[in-house]
């Protein structure tokens, strides 16, 4: 009988954990922080000619990072003014720490001055991402 309760408890915990992970995956949060607060490796990647640069922070063995790369690549191909770059923070944990990044992929949407427009955790949906960035796109 005790084994049954342990099994039911484990299933309940797994369901709750799955629901929480599903809720935060692909979440887009709006925020602003000046370029001076961005670590140098991130500032170097900002494209001054783009309305929005998507700086994807990834790690070597991150499977969702590959999926996020595909979404961001499609958005950058289809949308004028958007550039996608990737920064592997596997050997640069200080960059992730300075930005408060605790999971990958995390992507910063920054303007040409380095102001953080949005922060995306996980793999976003293409339409939701485009809608969130649209107000910041001069070209379309």
8 A C-beta contact, residue 81 and residue 47 = no
Tens of pLDDT, residue by residue, the chain (140 residues): 787 787 777 877 777 766 665 655 666 767 655 555 889 999 999 988 899 999 999 999 999 999 999 999 999 999 999 999 999 999 999 999 999 998 999 999 999 988 999 999 999 999 999 999 999 887 65
Tell whether domain 27-136 is in CATH 3.30.50.10: no
pLDDT at 108: 94
pLDDT at 26: 63
Structure token pair of residue 6: 């342990």
pLDDT at 82: 95
DSSP three-state, residue 66: helix
112 vs 109: CA distance, rounded Å? 10
8 A C-beta contact, residue 126 and residue 82 = no
pLDDT at 138: 79
């Amino acid at each position: 009988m005790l084994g049954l309760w342990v099994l039911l408890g484990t299933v309940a915990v797994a369901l709750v954990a799955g629901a929480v992970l599903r809720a935060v995956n692909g979440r887009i949060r709006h925020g602003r922080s000046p370029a001076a607060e961005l670590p140098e490796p991130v500032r170097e990647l900002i494209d001054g000619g783009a309305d929005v640069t998507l700086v994807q922070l990834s790690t070597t063995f991150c499977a969702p990072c590959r999926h996020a790369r595909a979404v961001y690549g499609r958005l950058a191909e289809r949308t004028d003014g958007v550039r996608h770059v990737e920064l592997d923070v596997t050997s640069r944990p200080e960059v992730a720490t300075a930005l408060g990044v605790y999971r990958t992929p995390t992507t910063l949407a920054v303007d040409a001055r380095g102001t953080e427009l949005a922060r995306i955790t996980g793999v976003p949906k293409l339409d939701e991402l485009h809608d969130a960035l649209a107000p910041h796109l001069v070209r379309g």
